[in-house]
């Protein structure tokens, strides 16, 4: 089966894991998933010994689909995270120009409407607030107000094309802001599912490894396959650094 199929098959079980029992990955998930696949193949030759020691072989047989689900959940989280980062980068690049356009519009309309207290008051109302959402709304409001008073704008030599540009910029920046905010929520959900999928895969892996360590504690050749290579390397580096400090 594909990883996506595995993911959809186990999604309900994964989501059922309560937050307080969810484990945040302490190692790269792609490395963790590969270790799960390696463990599945490694323990095949030890079925008799492991089951004799009490391991339910269905625990082993559950690894492939759990591994696929975990891999898919990681891919989905990466996609959401990358999309959010792209949207945030686009906002970072484009928002200064949008704010500049908003300020330019305010400056022009204030001058054009300087002799009309009602219109000037509307401009000042629009100018209130300086958040991202305010800027998006301001551009559209200024466009509408300007188009309703083209004669006053023409009298100061204002380029009416800026009114359409303001409306278009409002639409574009509104979509971008909405996508950015939406992706933050999706990212949180995707990350939560990834963490739960990690937890769901880690449980049988721990059980298999613990059993393997128990059975093969005097057989280093077989014991090797039940120990995480990632943590072996990390621990070795830590011990080496500690030795240097103590030396």
Q: Is the pLDDT of residue 148 over 80?
A: yes
| pLDDT tens digit sequence for 33-88 | 999 999 999 999 999 999 999 999 999 999 999 999 999 999 999 888 888 778 88
Q: Is the pLDDT of residue 183 over 90?
A: no
Q: What does the H/E/C string look like for the chain? A: CCHHHHHHHHHHHHHCCCHHHCCCCCCCHHHHHHHHHHHHHHHHHHHHHHHHCCCCHHHHHCHHHHHHHHHHHHHHHHHHHHHHHHHHHHHHHHHHHHHHHHHHHHHHHHHHCCCCHHHHHHHHHHHCCCCHHHHHHHHHHHHHHHHCCHHHHHCCCCCCHHHHHHHHHHHHHHHHHHHHHHHHHHHHHHHHHHHHHHHHHHHHHHHHHHHHHHHCCCCHHHHHHHCCHHHHHHHHHHHHHHHHHHC
Q: Is the pLDDT of residue 198 over 90?
A: yes
Domain boundaries, the chain: 3-242
Least confident of 35-49, 88-102, 135-149, 174-188: 174-188
């Amino acid at each position: 089966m594909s990883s996506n199929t595995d993911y959809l098959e186990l999604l309900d079980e994964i989501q059922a894991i309560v937050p307080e029992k969810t484990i945040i990955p302490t190692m790269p998930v792609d490395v963790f998933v590969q270790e799960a696949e390696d463990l599945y193949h490694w323990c095949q030759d030890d079925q008799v010994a492991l089951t004799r020691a009490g391991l339910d072989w269905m625990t082993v047989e559950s690894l492939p689909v759990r591994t696929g689900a975990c891999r898919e959940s990681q891919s989905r989280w990466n996609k959401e995270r990358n999309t959010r980062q792209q949207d945030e980068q686009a906002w970072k690049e484009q928002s200064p120009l949008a704010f500049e356009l908003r300020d330019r519009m305010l400056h022009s309309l204030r001058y054009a409407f300087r002799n009309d207290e009602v219109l000037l008051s509307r401009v000042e109302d629009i100018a209130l607030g300086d958040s991202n959402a305010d800027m998006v709304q301001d551009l559209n409001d200024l466009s509408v107000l300007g188009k309703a008073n083209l004669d006053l704008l023409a009298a100061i030599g204002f380029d009416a094309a800026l009114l359409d540009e303001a409306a278009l910029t409002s639409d574009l920046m509104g979509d971008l802001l909405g996508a950015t905010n939406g992706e933050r929520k999706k990212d949180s959900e995707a990350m939560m599912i990834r963490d739960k999928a990690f937890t769901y895969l880690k449980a049988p892996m721990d059980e298999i490894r613990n059993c393997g360590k128990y059975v093969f504690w005097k057989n280093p050749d077989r014991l090797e396959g039940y120990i995480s290579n990632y943590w072996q390397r990390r621990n070795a580096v830590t011990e080496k650094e500690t030795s240097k400090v103590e030396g």
